[in-house]
Amino acid sequence: MDMKKRKTYVALARMLFVSAGLLQGVAALAQQVANMDFVSVGRGAPLNPAIPGQLRTNPVQLESYPAAEIDDYPEQYWMVGPFNGFTVGADGIQIENNGWSALNGNAPDGVDPLPVDLFTSEDFYADQSLWSDPRYFRCNSSESIQAQWAVGLIGDNPPRTAAWGYCDRDYPREAIISPYPFQSAESHYEALLAETQARGGPTQHTYATVPGDWNGRYVWPRGQNWYAELFWNQVPTILSLLTEEYQTRMVQEAYHHGNTNISQWPAQFCWPEGYMRRWHYHGVTNQPHQILVTPELVQILAGDADNFITNIHIGRSFNVDGLLPRLGADVPRWYGETIGFWDGEVLITWTSNTQGWKVHGSFEFSNKMQVIEIYTANRDEQGEIYGLNHEGIFYDPEALVEPIRIVRNLERQGGLNDGDPYQFIECVQSIFNINGVPTPASPGQVIEYTVPDMYGRPWAENWQKFHEQDMERPEEEDLFSFE
């Protein structure tokens, strides 16, 4: 990066630090970024707004829905809704937690509904001009769309009677896109490496110096960031991050969650989970992350419906002769391949060579996605570690119109030998797409079953074959391929 761009970025970063500090003065507890003693070219930029939360959560409250109302946090940033769940008090007692602006198909006061929307449409493809209007989704977050049927908000005559969220709430796009000036993971990684070299690094740890107190078990509380369940966003805001093809894919999934009620969640069918489920709340939180640190390799093990194993190879370099930077064969991997280096006890990584896939309720990503991640210890005044700040910047020129960022704080629950051992997941399929509908099948039952193409888009193949016969899909788009 040239000096003029660096000076511009540093000035912008300092301005953001000031504005974020003002907000954090209002919201004492916030989704914080890592504490740093310098302004970096590519890590630690503040979040504005920062979703309020705690850095140390009462274990009984980890599964709680975010609060329906958050004191000292502007109402325009509260959860979009509609939602119907439970918050657990510090005493462990469940409290009903819900929010909506109108029920049973009625429009909220002061809102003029569109003539057709996601819940009344016969062909969502034909409605493309309406996708940028929150009213097309009844001002639902994408999480709420996929939950409407399950939590009893769909009304008396579904799907036409689906509930409305709050049209005047949204988490701003400006807080989602990357604050850094890089257009590729490679340039971002090289800039962070050069910055570290200028500071005397990278640090070459031995077993005597590697931060062994990172070893342990970590969790993060529900609703902590914008991405984990997309509680905080209007759907059009998320669509604005995506290329036209991937907008179509996301609306397709929203339609079949909210309108046809034909979900296609990978875990239903024991399909792979894919890289981005590492960042989705329900993919990795029912048992803690297990982090193991050595001088040459850092391993992060997690999983609910599948096993997520991230091996960070310290000091290695990618082979750049193939389609994408990689370590092994020129074949995409479900969770990619990862290299990294240390700046003191800050771990900086680069993941490439991922297999394109999806996260239900969120957007799909392509084989071209690459990610920069930064792990920084959160320590108390005595120097004891109580968590890890985890910042990720996502580059995907096929799916994203510009890079995005997610920040979360992993809370330490104890050492490697504390609590239950990690339970390795073996998923035994019992639900199959039979005549286009996810259907449980019992042992010994004979069914007619079409084997899906696991390297295409098996969810879309099912929807299109059985639930979109009368729709007119764009002919120029090939929705079955990541190529």
**Whole-number mean pLDDT of the chain?**
90
Tokens of 332: 């995409």
Residue range 271-292: average pLDDT?
92
Q: Is the peptide bond between 82 and the residue preceding it cis, with omega within 30 degrees of 0? A: yes
Q: What gap in Å lies between CA 1 and CA 142, rounded to an integer?
A: 37
**Among candidate residues 114, 234, 86, 237, the one with its CA nearest the CA of residue 169:** 234
Residue range 203-210: average pLDDT?
97
Tokens of 302: 């997690």
| 101-106 CB contacts, 8 Å cutoff, 24+ apart | 101/139, 101/164, 101/165, 101/166, 101/167, 102/163, 102/164, 103/153, 103/155, 103/163, 103/164, 104/155, 104/156, 104/161, 104/163, 105/155, 105/157, 105/160, 105/161, 105/162, 106/164
pTM exceeds 0.85, yes or no: yes
Tokens of 307: 């096993």
Q: Is the peptide bond between 179 and the residue preceding it cis, with omega within 30 degrees of 0? A: no
**Among candidate residues 476, 471, 451, the one with its CA nearest the CA of residue 251:** 471
Instruction: Indicate the burial class of 25 (C-beta count within 10 angstroms; 0-12, 13-18, 19 or more).
Output: exposed
Residue range 186-196: average pLDDT?
98
pLDDT of residue 117: 98
Pairing assessment for the beta strands 289-293 and 216-219 based on DSSP bridges: antiparallel
pLDDT of residue 30: 53
Task: Give the model confidence (pLDDT) of 103-137 as tens digits.
Answer: 999 999 999 999 999 999 999 999 999 999 999 99
Please determine, for residue 17, whether its predicted confidence score (pLDDT) is greater than 80.
no
Please determine, for residue 458, whether its predicted confidence score (pLDDT) is greater than 90.
yes
Q: Strand pairing partners for 440? A: 431
Q: What are phi and psi of 82, to 5 degrees?
A: -70, 155
Q: What gap in Å lies between CA 318 and CA 162, rounded to an integer?
A: 49
Q: Which residues have a Cβ under 8 Å from the Cβ of 224 and sit 6 or more positions away?
A: 31, 51, 53, 408, 409
Task: Give the model confidence (pLDDT) of 356-379 as tens digits.
Answer: 999 999 999 999 999 999 999 999
Task: Give the model confidence (pLDDT) of 165-186 as tens digits.
Answer: 999 999 999 999 999 999 999 9
Pairing assessment for the beta strands 83-88 and 370-379 based on DSSP bridges: unpaired
Predicted confidence band at 480 (pLDDT cuts at 50, 70, 90)? very low
Tokens of 399: 């799916």
Please determine, for residue 26, whether its predicted confidence score (pLDDT) is greater than 80.
no
Predicted confidence band at 479 (pLDDT cuts at 50, 70, 90)? very low
Q: What gap in Å lies between CA 163 and CA 148, rounded to an integer?
A: 8
Please determine, for residue 401, whether its predicted confidence score (pLDDT) is greater than 60.
yes
- Write a three-state SS string for 29-56: CCCCCCCCCCCCCCCCCCCCCCCCCCCC
